Amino acid sequence: MVSFNPNISVVIDTVGYWHSGDEELDHVLEELRGFGHAHQDCGHHQHHDHGFEKGFNLRHLELMFEADVDPYFKGWAIVAVDTHGAELEEAAVLTTSLPWGLQVKLGKFFSDFSRLNAQHAHEWNFTDQTLIYRVLLGDHGLNEIGAQLSWLTPAPFFLLAGLEVLQGDNEIAFEYHGDGPLPERDGPRLFLGWLKASPNLAGNHAIQAGLFAGRGVRQEEHLGPEGHYDPGSHYLDGHQWIYGADFVYRYTPPRAYGQGAFTLEGGYMGRRAEIELKAHNNPGRHHLLGNNLVKEQDGLYLQAVYGFAPRWRFGVRGEALGLTNREKKPSGAEEKFDPSWRASAMLDWTLTEFSRLRLQGNHGRYDTDEGKESVSEVFLQAVFSLGSHPAHRF
């Protein structure tokens, strides 16, 4: 009889939070011109937000089980628990012995289309998610059920290609209703491809760059105050592309506890949505049926982190949202919106590999439906790891 003895680890992620003004950043981001998400929830998702309330927050307790299944597979399961309940973040298996550099992943997992998306919240170099990922993909990023095929090519340097076929249930980028006036679309509804490369650098330098693109089903329900019966309610169906690039550079000197280490990381992501007006409760709008709503938005971030003393790091981050920010309505009217900006600085102290304290401040100016709004935020984060936690990827 063989006993099952997986590695078990727990991560406790707590955040103290304060912001200026009367509105939380989550509400401001919902009103961003061009990016706003004032749609009704489609009912197919269990929301487990990373937004914070003023005061003390338990972002989550992350419980992870990991083990080799047999000589051919390894598997893991990750459950995130907070004061509102629990959610299954990952439950996946990965092949370990396929030939020709091939590997298959099956289950629920964070997409590897970008380095940042594949990370869990406690792995980020800043307390909160970057703006472009947050407004296009939501607090979770692309965390989907599906399959992934990757190929480590025989190139003389690291070159990894991947294809993912996913169910397509992201409640922001690939919102799906499939009921009422909107057509049902069987899964999988989201397809992604990506490429990552790391040249062979001398000494203590390392760099990795990536490209990605994906296409999936997108549906929208815009409901008036009376819901589905409101004369202003209308329904759209179509597809959305996401595309972009990212990179990370690391310098790791042979000094103790991260002193002198430097990381520079950046990324760009854009989206183009083309969704057809399928139904409108107002008969005066029926002549627009069959016309497309087209949305084009993008954003980027650049951040740097430096270990100025043993166990101590300082980091800065700059972000731009909506450098491209335009919308063409089914009526043919076109609108262009202004970009939004945010700057961040953080200081953290890694007492040991199992505990970290971080102080962070943000200041952003956002172009919303109610005009220009400024929001300042302060975070005090404490992260603790219990048990054997697997090493983080590059």
Answer whether the bond into residue 188 is a cis peptide, omega within 30°. yes
Measured CA to CA, the distance from residue 199 to residue 290 in angstroms comes to 48
pLDDT, tens digit (0-9, with 9 covering 90-100), for 314-356: 999 999 999 999 999 999 999 999 999 999 999 999 999 999 9
**Spatial distance between the Cα atoms of 100 and 223, rounded to a whole number of angstroms:** 51
How many alpha carbons fall within 13 Å on the CB side of residue 256?
3
Q: What's the average model confidence in pLDDT over 13-21?
A: 93
pLDDT of amino acid 229: 85
Predicted model pTM: 0.92
pLDDT digits 0-9 by tens, 147-196: 999 999 999 999 999 999 999 999 899 999 988 899 999 989 999 999 99
Please list, in sequence order, all residues whose beta carbon lies within 8 angstroms of the beta carbon of residue 232, skipping any fewer than 6 positions away.
222, 224, 281, 282
Beta strands in the chain (DSSP E): 7-19, 55-70, 73-82, 85-95, 102-110, 143-152, 158-166, 190-198, 205-222, 234-251, 262-280, 292-309, 312-328, 334-336, 340-352, 355-368, 371-387
pLDDT tier, 227 (very low <50, low <70, confident <90, very high otherwise):
confident
Q: How does residue 389 score in pLDDT terms, banded at 50, 70 and 90?
A: low
| Residue 355: C-alpha distances to residues 150, 158, 195, 207 (Å) | 33, 32, 33, 27
Structure token digits, residue 254: 């042979």
- Which residues have a Cβ under 8 Å from the Cβ of 326 and sit 6 or more positions away? 34, 295, 296, 297, 334, 335, 336, 337
Closest residue by Cα to residue 318 from 339, 297, 299, 303: 303
**Domains, in order of start, for the chain:** 7-387 (2.40.160.10)
Length of the chain: 394
pLDDT band at 42 (very low <50, low <70, confident <90, very high): very low
Residue 132 contacts residue 122 (beta carbons within 8 Å)? no
> Which two structure tokens, joined as six digits, stand for 209?
């760059």
pLDDT digits (tens, 9 = 90+) for 284-321: 899 999 999 999 999 999 999 999 999 999 999 999 99
